[in-house]
């Protein structure tokens, strides 16, 4: 396991960033401190609360990526759009409404099936030609 990840886990366990101080670039420290506060704030989540668990995992991943030296935009630290969508679905369920999830249309999913169909038809035609 990478040294930065081990140090990040140690930081969470001890509640201090000292294990990471020698490993992280100084210009990343403000972002790292913010992510660290978010991890600590969500660390002791109710295990029966899925949203709280997801929030902790999101904060943990952001924190460990920063510990590894990966910069994140401010928007990545707090992805409220996904949370807002989740709350919209939950509110609709509570009101007895149904919201269809937004999904992307499959791209060119017809191509493999079209090719398989063409192969099948030409194979059958070839067998029938030989028999006649």
Query: Is residue 84 situated within a structural domain?
Result: no
Query: Is residue 122 situated within a structural domain?
Result: no
In tens, the pLDDT along 41-86 reads: 999 999 899 999 999 999 999 999 999 887 554 434 444 555 556 6
b/e per residue 67-94 (b: at least 16 CB within 10 A): bbeeebeeebbeeeeeeeeeeeeeeeee
Would you call 29 helix, strand, or coil by DSSP? helix
Q: What is the pLDDT of residue 84?
A: 58
Query: Is residue 29 situated within a structural domain?
Result: yes
Q: What is the pLDDT of residue 76?
A: 46
Identify each DSSP E strand in 34-124 by its residue range.
none
Q: Which two tokens stand for residue 63?
A: 């924190």
Query: Is residue 8 situated within a structural domain?
Result: yes
Question: 40 versus 117: which is more confidently predicted?
Answer: 40
Q: What is the pLDDT of residue 58?
A: 94
Domain boundaries, position 16: 3-78
Query: Is residue 73 situated within a structural domain?
Result: yes
Query: Is residue 71 situated within a structural domain?
Result: yes
How many distinct structural domains can be found in the chain? 1
pLDDT of 104 above 80: no
Q: What is the pTM of this model?
A: 0.54
Query: Is residue 96 situated within a structural domain?
Result: no
């Amino acid at each position: 396991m990478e040294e930065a990840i081990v140090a990040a886990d140690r930081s969470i366990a001890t509640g201090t960033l000292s294990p990471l101080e020698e490993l992280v670039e100084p210009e990343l420290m403000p972002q790292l401190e913010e992510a660290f506060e978010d991890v600590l704030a969500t660390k002791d989540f109710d295990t029966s609360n899925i949203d709280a668990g997801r929030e902790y995992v999101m904060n943990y991943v952001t924190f460990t990526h920063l510990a590894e030296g990966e910069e994140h935009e401010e928007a990545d630290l707090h992805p409220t759009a996904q949370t807002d969508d989740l709350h919209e679905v939950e509110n609709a369920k509570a009101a007895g409404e149904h919201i269809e999830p937004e999904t992307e249309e499959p791209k060119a999913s017809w191509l493999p099936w079209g090719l398989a169909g063409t192969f099948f038809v030409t194979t059958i035609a070839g067998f029938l030609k030989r028999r006649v």
